[in-house]
């Protein structure tokens, strides 16, 4: 008998019929003797409907009220799913984020979970109930409703699994697992049966939309085995877990991630003295802008260039912040580009293999793709290129690292 936390996204609960299908699925697990906690998102379309209502009233709707508004989406789903479970003879009880006390900080629309009261859930599970929890939402210490930002239901599920020490956290979605890259871009992309937290983290943060990055962080931190599965197709999905050193030889590269939602900014000619990076990024963070890549190369003539990337939506806002920073630092100028894309190769295998970077750069050079920025970590190499080359770059790298699967099958 296992304790499983299952998360169903908006598409999986998008209609009454699908909610009933989820209930039937949960019932099977119950009949198998497992204890089940279900986390659900808003029915697909509902969050956008609510956002639409808000945006007709306020261009920048009040963040506190946005959370009051959009949190109703999941509240509707938990009630309907409990009804469906009760109806099929599987007793269930629902909880909003406030009720189950998913305590967060007070950053409305982007809150972070601080604590979860697992008492009521444990009590219900002991009573034989299925517990249904609204994803994506929480409550701050003052009792205000908060939300974790889009995709936050994954985080809710993993945080609950960690708090309950669940045996597995299953993320049901509209894909059947994590792929070597986006199958819409590369025909031969293959499903991975297993991937490490670290690799998944790099994949997620770089634009593989399967799982929310914070959810993977959480799962890795608390070592919660995470499995991505298709909501309505049977299959093993992809298990995300800690690295197994005893496993057979791994491929060098697990996957290729990419992201076209970024913009790059460079503060040119800043003085090469301690504290400059902090002076540039502190006001950026204060404006609630998340920074992705950060690069600073060697100095010349006692000045250097400081480059970073942000979400494309934050591009204009960031430019404004940098205007003042640039004056304060007596920098030469600020330049930026919104038409970039980031492509990354990810794999724990590259730790023990030399020449991975060379292979990547050669593959890109063979296609005459110019590299604008390079950034590396232990298990990832990212490059920024002009957006128009994105698909070409992903395809050539997928081939270069021998990830093409289905294509080979098709040839035989």
- Helix orientation angle between 63-87 and 46-57, rounded to the nearest 10 degrees: 150
Contact 400, 358 (CB under 8 A): no
- What is the smallest separation between the CB atom of 359 and a copy of itself, expressed in angstroms? 52
Q: How far apart are CA 276 and CA 278, in angstroms?
A: 5
Site for a copy of itself in 257-276 (CB under 8 A): none
- What is the smallest separation between the CB atom of 200 and a copy of itself, expressed in angstroms? 33
Q: How far apart are CA 292 and CA 262, in angstroms?
A: 9
- What is the smallest separation between the CB atom of 133 and a copy of itself, expressed in angstroms? 12
Residue 44 lies near a copy of itself (rule: CB under 8 A):
no
- What is the smallest separation between the CB atom of 339 and a copy of itself, expressed in angstroms? 33
- What is the smallest separation between the CB atom of 237 and a copy of itself, expressed in angstroms? 27
Residue 41 lies near a copy of itself (rule: CB under 8 A):
no
Measuring CA to CA, which residue among 261, 257, 271, 134 is closest to residue 202? 257
Decide: residue 387, CB within 10 A, 0-12 exposed, 13-18 middle, 19+ buried: middle
| Of positions 32, 48, 58, 285, contacts a copy of itself by CB under 8 A | 58
Stretch in the footprint of a copy of itself (CB under 8 A) among 15-23, 149-157, 189-197, 302-310: 15-23
- What is the smallest separation between the CB atom of 96 and a copy of itself, expressed in angstroms? 7
Measuring CA to CA, which residue among 120, 233, 219, 119 is closest to residue 169? 219
Task: Draw the binding track, 106-145, toward a copy of itself (x: CB under 8 A; -: no contact).
Answer: -------------------------------------xxx
Residue 156 lies near a copy of itself (rule: CB under 8 A):
no
Compare residues 54 and 281 and give the one whose CB is closer to a copy of itself.
54
Stretch in the footprint of a copy of itself (CB under 8 A) among 48-56, 194-202, 254-262, 369-377: 48-56
- What is the smallest separation between the CB atom of 311 and a copy of itself, expressed in angstroms? 24
Please name every residue paired with 173 in a beta bridge, in sequence order, or none if there are none: 230
Q: How far apart are CA 105 and CA 140, in angstroms?
A: 6
Residue 56 lies near a copy of itself (rule: CB under 8 A):
yes
| Of positions 4, 40, 78, 166, contacts a copy of itself by CB under 8 A | 78
Q: How far apart are CA 121 and CA 101, in angstroms?
A: 11
Q: How far apart are CA 44 and CA 286, in angstroms?
A: 33
- Sheet hosting strand 291-296, strand order edge to edge: 291-296, 303-311, 262-271, 333-337
| Of positions 6, 12, 20, 156, contacts a copy of itself by CB under 8 A | 20
Decide: residue 164, CB within 10 A, 0-12 exposed, 13-18 middle, 19+ buried: buried
Compare residues 63 and 371 and give the one whose CB is closer to a copy of itself.
63
Q: Dihedrals φ, ψ of 360, to 5°? A: -65, -50
Stretch in the footprint of a copy of itself (CB under 8 A) among 54-62, 189-197, 205-213, 317-325: 54-62
Helix (H) or strand (E) holding 78, with range, is helix 63-87
- What is the smallest separation between the CB atom of 156 and a copy of itself, expressed in angstroms? 17
The SS3 assignment for 267 reads strand
Please name every residue paired with 328 in a beta bridge, in sequence order, or none if there are none: none
Residues 6+ positions from 88 with CB-CB distance below 8 Å: 20, 23, 24, 27
Compare residues 20 and 238 and give the one whose CB is closer to a copy of itself.
20
Please name every residue paired with 311 in a beta bridge, in sequence order, or none if there are none: 262
Q: How far apart are CA 206 and CA 216, in angstroms?
A: 13
Interface size with a copy of itself, residues (CB under 8 A) = 36
- What is the smallest separation between the CB atom of 57 and a copy of itself, expressed in angstroms? 5
Q: Which tokens sit at 87? A: 């109806």
Stretch in the footprint of a copy of itself (CB under 8 A) among 12-20, 206-214, 362-370, 387-395: 12-20
The SS3 assignment for 242 reads coil
Stretch in the footprint of a copy of itself (CB under 8 A) among 85-93, 162-170, 226-234, 351-359: 85-93
| Of positions 2, 24, 28, 53, contacts a copy of itself by CB under 8 A | 53
- What is the smallest separation between the CB atom of 15 and a copy of itself, expressed in angstroms? 10
Instruction: Note the residues at the interface with a copy of itself (CB under 8 A).
Output: 16, 19-20, 50, 53-54, 56-58, 61-62, 64-66, 68-69, 71-72, 75-76, 78-80, 82-84, 86-87, 93-94, 96, 98-99, 143-145
């Amino acid at each position: 008998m296992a304790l499983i936390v299952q998360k169903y996204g908006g598409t999986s609960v998008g209609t009454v019929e699908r909610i009933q299908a989820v209930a039937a699925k949960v019932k099977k697990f119950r009949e198998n003797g497992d204890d089940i906690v279900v986390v659900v998102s808003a029915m697909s379309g509902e969050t956008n409907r609510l956002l639409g209502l808000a945006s007709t009233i306020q261009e920048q709707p009040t963040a506190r009220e946005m959370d009051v508004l959009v949190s109703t989406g999941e509240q509707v789903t938990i009630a309907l799913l409990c009804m469906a479970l009760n109806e099929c003879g599987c007793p269930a009880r629902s909880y909003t984020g406030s009720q189950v006390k998913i305590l967060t900080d007070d950053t409305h629309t982007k809150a972070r979970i601080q604590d979860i009261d697992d008492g009521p859930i444990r009590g219900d599970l002991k009573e034989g109930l299925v517990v249904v929890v609204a994803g994506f939402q929480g409550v701050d210490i003052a009792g205000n409703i908060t939300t974790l930002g889009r995709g936050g239901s994954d985080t809710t599920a993993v945080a609950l699994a960690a708090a309950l020490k669940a045996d597995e956290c299953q993320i049901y979605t509209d894909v059947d697992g994590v792929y070597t890259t986006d199958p819409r871009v590369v025909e031969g992309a293959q499903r991975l049966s297993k991937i490490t937290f670290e690799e998944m983290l790099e994949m997620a943060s770089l634009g593989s939309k399967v799982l929310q990055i914070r959810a993977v962080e959480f799962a890795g931190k608390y070592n919660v085995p995470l499995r991505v599965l298709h909501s309505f197709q049977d299959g093993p999905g992809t298990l995300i877990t800690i690295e197994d050193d005893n496993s057979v030889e791994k491929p060098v590269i697990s996957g290729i991630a990419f992201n076209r939602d970024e913009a790059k900014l460079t503060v040119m000619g800043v003085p090469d003295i301690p504290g400059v990076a902090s002076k540039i990024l502190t006001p950026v963070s204060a404006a609630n802008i998340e920074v992705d890549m950060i690069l600073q190369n060697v100095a010349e003539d006692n000045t250097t260039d400081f480059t970073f990337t942000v979400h494309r939506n934050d591009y204009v806002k960031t430019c404004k912040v940098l205007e003042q920073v640039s004056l304060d630092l007596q920098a030469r100028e600020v330049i930026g580009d919104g038409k970039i894309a980031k492509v990354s190769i990810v794999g724990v295998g590259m730790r023990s293999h030399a020449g991975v970077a060379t292979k990547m750069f050669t593959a890109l050079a063979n296609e005459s793709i110019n590299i604008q920025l390079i950034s590396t970590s232990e298990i990832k190499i990212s490059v920024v290129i002009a957006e128009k080359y994105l698909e070409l770059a992903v395809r050539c790298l997928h081939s270069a690292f021998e990830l093409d699967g289905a294509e080979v099958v098709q040839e035989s």
